[in-house]
Structure 1
Amino acid sequence: METHVPHVNEEENEDPGAAPYGNFINYYTFNPPENRLSLIPETLLENIGLGSELVLILDVGCNSGDLSVALYKHLSHEDAPGSDFSKREVYLLGCDLDQDLIFRAQNSNPFPQNIQFIPLDITDDPESRIVLESYFGRFGCPRFHLCTCFAVTMWVHLNHGDAALLSLLSRLASLCEYLLLEAQPWKCYRSAARRLRKLGRSDFDHFKTLEIRGDMAAHAREHLEKQCSMELVQSFGNTTWDRSLLLFKRR
């Protein structure tokens, strides 16, 4: 687990606007893994019935892998080798579109037998689907047991538009049994656009024309439940950045 650092608001980070796809360097120094993990019970897999011998997890937008590794340890009980749960095999695949961040994740990976990091643009269909289906197919599984998507939706939305956001949610739903989603609220959209302008860069291509606005978590829930055959089973509350963590289940 990473060392705690003083909380730094996303808007106060010295140059987050330099990463228009959310691929921040040293992201976890200002939003450490425990900001999310403190809300997620260590017994999550058991609570949702994933007590089997094999569990596959997909972490979309894994950045440099700090949260992925911390989540793996958190859910696999890696630090408690004497427990019954330690006999379960948990495998985690982290993907990110930034190859430099993936390189850092690969080089610092303490569990290469169980955690793999690959460069992959989740919005690139069918390539991303082929790669991901190949991964869980190697284990004889029809899909991932759990998919996590932390603070990714806004970047897809801003860079690719409304249809891409809905397509992302649909794709994630099709790849897993359970989806743990953190969607950035609308205030983060305004902050991201403001940071980009302060750097003298052009605005996000789709920001001013987006029709999906307001309560982004509610929009995501509506699409997942009405269009993707998923249902909300639990809300784990809000992070220190006031973002809700929502767990959905395939019906």
Structure 2
Amino acid sequence: MNDLAYNGANPGSVRYGNFINYYQFHPAEDRIKLLPTNIWKPCDTFVVLDIGCNAGDLTLSLHKYLTTNVCKNCKIIAIDIDATLIKRANEQNTSENVIFQCRDFMDSTQREELRFDLTKLNITKFDAVFCFSVTMWIHLNHGDEGLQKFLTEICNLSKVIVIEPQPWKCYKTAVKRLKLYQKEFLKFKDLKLKDPVTDIESIIIKNGFCKRSEQYETNWQRKILIFNKISC
């Protein structure tokens, strides 16, 4: 079976977090309302990377928030590993300043394509990278080393990081769901980074960022952390 498929037609049993109808359960506005409006620097343009955009509902709401509160000239490149979800995102997208692409950020060739996108825009870094409930899936599929690689790469690509890590209890739930279909996350048993929120914060800070904001927990008990590059 394709790893991007829903096991047993169960939309809750997925390997990469590519849930179908995700925003019916986690409305985009529940996250948007937690984002602060007083931490952004004035700018003429604002270019964003949204990793793990699913069907695009949150990305489009994010674009509205950014154009209202940060910069009217805002462009978002939104990526997801699931081509079906990207197709849905494109079907509802009416903004020429939001681009949805099917890409796997953990693939080095596809990361280089993102760097090429930056070159075409005459910039070297994204003004911000947004990662909402993505890190657990990176961690489960690529292990501790993969999580650290992911965080280092987004630090290298961005001036600001907005990240919503899943707590450890979410890992256990994801593992249990997949086991119902005789599948497993092979890296799970070897994970040593078992305090994801603290570990992720530590790795990002070691990469030259400082924490600017820690927003209250969402309705599904996750915090949104915002970091900025110390030199920016």
Same fold (TM over 0.5): yes
Deviation of 1:202 (Å)? 1.9
Deviation of 1:52 (Å)? 1.3
Matched residue, 1:94: 78
Structure 1 vs Structure 2: percent identity of aligned residues? 35
Partners of 2:52 and 2:59 lie apart in 1 by: 10
Matched residue, 2:63: 72
Unaligned residue ranges in structure 2 (runs of 5+): 1-8
Aligned partner of 1:48 among 40, 49, 60 = 40
Residue type of the partner of 1:91?
Answer: K
Deviation of 1:128 (Å)? 2.4
Residue type of the partner of 2:135?
Answer: T
SS at match of 1:18: coil
Whether contact under 8 Å (2:13, 2:174) holds in the other structure is no
Partners of 2:46 and 2:53 lie apart in 1 by: 18
Whether contact under 8 Å (2:48, 2:76) holds in the other structure is yes
Deviation of 1:16 (Å)? 4.0
Residue type of the partner of 2:40?
Answer: I
Partners of 1:16 and 1:191 lie apart in 2 by: 14
SS at match of 1:123: coil
Partners of 2:202 and 2:151 lie apart in 1 by: 11
Partners of 2:171 and 2:106 lie apart in 1 by: 19
SS at match of 1:39: coil
Whether contact under 8 Å (1:16, 1:195) holds in the other structure is no
Aligned partner of 1:152 among 99, 112, 134 = 134
Partners of 2:49 and 2:28 lie apart in 1 by: 16
Residue type of the partner of 2:176?
Answer: R
TM superposition score normalised by structure 2: 0.91
Partners of 2:94 and 2:13 lie apart in 1 by: 29
Deviation of 1:35 (Å)? 1.9
2:187 is the counterpart of 1:192: no
Over residues 89-123 of structure 1, what are the superposed CA-to-partner deviations in whole Å (9 max), with x where a residue is unaligned? Answer: 10001000111111111111021x10000011000
Over residues 32-55 of structure 1, what are the superposed CA-to-partner deviations in whole Å (9 max), with x where a residue is unaligned? Answer: 1022112013x35xx321x21110
TM superposition score normalised by structure 1: 0.84
Partners of 1:205 and 1:136 lie apart in 2 by: 35
Matched residue, 1:119: 102
Cα-Cα RMSD = 1.6
